[in-house]
Amino acid sequence: MSIELRHFRCFLAIADTLSVTRAAERLHLTQPAVSRTLRQLEQDLGVRLVDRSTHHLALTPDGLAFRDQAAIAVTAFDRALGHARRTSWPLRLGHAWSAAGTGTTALLRRWHEEHPETPLELLRIDDRTAGLARGDVDAALLRGEVRAPGLITEQLTTEPRVAGLPADDPLARRPTLSLADLADRTLALNTVSGITTLDLWPATARPAATITIGNTDDWLAAITGGRAIGVTTSATAEMHPHPEMAYVPLTDAPPVPVVIAWRDGPGHPRIADLVALAHEVMGHRHTAPNAT
């Protein structure tokens, strides 16, 4: 049996839903057909992709690694087919939160003016690489250290860190804060796409408790609802003002690098133009990219 694109699509549907039933509904197939296709793929690859030993499906380590590569392959096929049919080939720019900060509007408008033949689609994807590693986007604006293999990054700028507090919090009235001022509070941590961890504090003076959230909207809700405080960058304050939220500069927290990233290999032909424009809008041009 040779592997076909339908095997990849079937596996990705299972990986996205973690359910044979929901994958079958998405693909308009029967459950036995989905199970059979997955079994054929695993047999041909010689690895187990999905752990079916519990009541809930889960991807094995091999499945997790294969998912990203399968997504890249399917995306490349779909886009090549669309290009061959002379459909438009948009350039997809991902971000996990805050996009290009206050430069977002300028970036989008200048791109439209200078490259009207290539639509630039800005996509928020709640993922550490904003979907770049999976092939969901062509490039991404990311914050913090990017450790995913196979990506190239160029630093655009840095952003200072700020504390996010309920507007009626006593600390919200201060002009600046230190990390120590937050050590007795509950900290909201975005473990999906965020960059703040307890390692930002000394081991002996870390926040007393944490709550885990998965995206910027839930982070804002946790803070404005009085459940926690947070640490983010100035871009969040610029892009997400809220009447019940206060952002206070942190004096002793290191700034956060903002990078543009893309995959090391064949990609959209306009990536170089996007990188150059991002440097113009957000920062200054660096002489050489860094492979990470």
**How far is Cα 263 from Cα 137, in angstroms, rounded to an integer?**
10
Q: 288: buried, middle or exposed (CB in 10 Å: 19+, 13-18, 0-12)?
A: exposed
**Do residues 148 and 220 touch, judged by C-beta distance below 8 A?**
no
- Mean pLDDT is highest, among 4-13, 84-93, 101-110, for 101-110
pLDDT (0 to 100) of residue 250? 98
Domains of the chain: 5-84 (1.10.10.10), 91-158+256-291 (3.40.190.10), 161-249 (3.40.190.10)
**pLDDT tens-digit readout, 8-64:** 889 988 988 888 988 888 888 899 999 999 999 999 999 999 998 766 788 999 998
**pLDDT tens-digit readout, 182-233:** 999 999 999 999 999 999 999 989 998 999 999 999 999 999 999 999 999 9
The region of weakest confidence among 84-88, 189-193, 235-239, 250-254 is 84-88
**How far is Cα 203 from Cα 144, in angstroms, rounded to an integer?**
21
Conformational region of residue 265, where left means phi above 0, alpha means psi within -120 to 50, and beta covers everything else: left
Write phi, then psi, for 273 (nearest 5 degrees): -65, -40
Count CB-CB contacts under 10 A for residue 132. 28
**Do residues 55 and 31 touch, judged by C-beta distance below 8 A?**
no
**How far is Cα 255 from Cα 157, in angstroms, rounded to an integer?**
10
Question: What type of residue is 99?
Answer: A
Q: Which residue has the tokens 């039933």?
A: 21
